[in-house]
A = this chain, B = another copy of it.
């Protein structure tokens, strides 16, 4: 198989962690006789520094000509004072729109070997296996108007939560499709007791569920969702929600199992390419020190193999290698605990390659 992969390292530790994914992909490619080629593009603060914008045309073109996109992370205090529309995060928001990445998929997995670094008690998180599906190109992130106003001589401000029915339909349908291959439960999270958009969301969820009689649909209010994630995360299989609620809940979910530095994500579109990235940020405080955890990005590469290229076996080989390395006690600083062996970013990458 020949595949072109766009690589956007971004800022902070981005460069260090995508390096891990590239090396692991190359190793797997050699073993299974696939040709993965890598084309680099700029995004975020570093793109702003060299081109004046956080998402240059050229990067968009590189992505569109690729079969999949691998992103590191964007952002950092260095760009806190530039105009909002040029900040690193805008690059991220723009690429989502440019590539129509309407659904963000975030698995939250329990790693037995990391249970000790979770803030939750072991019996609460043991066996958690949840997939958050977040709408990614609509809602209050992009709705208009979004502006300051003068109202009766007073300063006011407005943001707009806007959805078209199609946008809601496709992401909820996606959630049901994913639930088919899992525990066959979809929890749709909304705020239907307050928001009109949530009422439409709920209607659409009910409608789509009729096409999936084998799947259980449950509705949950977002405030209750934020509680239930902490109280009893095992109750969830697939969770689907709109953009802003998903931003909040998926970050909440990501800390439950104590493995934030371990969690990959995929953002998918109708036509491809899909984008893969670790869910952690650019961690500018530890950038360039060769201590960042590359495992979330390596697992994002595994997700790419499975979801974009249909290479289930190759993906599993990576996942197993990561587990082996953890079981063997290797840890970067973020997941370090007593009695384990602390390794650098590059050492961790080497260990995963050896374990493949």
Contact = CB atoms under 8 A, between A and B. Distances in A.
A226 interface: yes
A143 interface: yes
Contacts of A199: 84, 157
- Copies per complex of this chain: 2
A178 interface: no
Contacts of A226: 226, 248-249, 251-252
Interface in A271-295: none
Interface string A236-254: 0000000011011111101
Interface in A164-202: 164-166, 191, 193-197, 199-200
A231 interface: yes
B89 A193 contact: yes
B162 A157 contact: yes
Interface stretch (A59-67, A116-124, A320-328, A343-351): A116-124
A136 to B, nearest CB: 12
Contacts of A193: 84, 87, 89
A254 to B, nearest CB: 7
Q: Count chain B CB atoms within 10 A of each CB in A158, A159, A197 and give the residue with the most.
A: A159
Contact of A161 (B84, B140, B163): B140
Interface stretch (A12-20, A32-40, A144-152): A144-152
Contacts of A166: 154
A230 interface: yes
A197 B158 contact: yes
A155 interface: yes
Interface residues on A, range: 35 or more
Nearest to A154: B164
A195 B231 contact: no
A141 interface: yes
A224 interface: yes
A307 interface: no
A227 B251 contact: yes
Interface in A314-335: none
Contacts of A244: 191
A95 interface: no
A105 interface: no
A156 interface: yes
Contacts of A148: 196, 200
Nearest to A250: B223
Nearest to A75: B193
Contacts of A254: 227
Contacts of A120: 119-121, 230
Given A119-B120, A120-B121, A161-B161, 17 more contacts: A89-B193, A119-B232, A120-B120, A140-B195, A147-B196, A155-B165, A157-B165, A158-B160, A159-B195, A159-B197, A160-B161, A191-B244, A223-B248, A226-B226, A226-B248, A226-B249, A227-B255
16 contacts: A84-B199, A119-B232, A140-B195, A147-B196, A148-B200, A155-B200, A157-B163, A157-B196, A159-B160, A159-B195, A223-B251, A227-B251, A227-B255, A227-B260, A231-B255, A245-B248
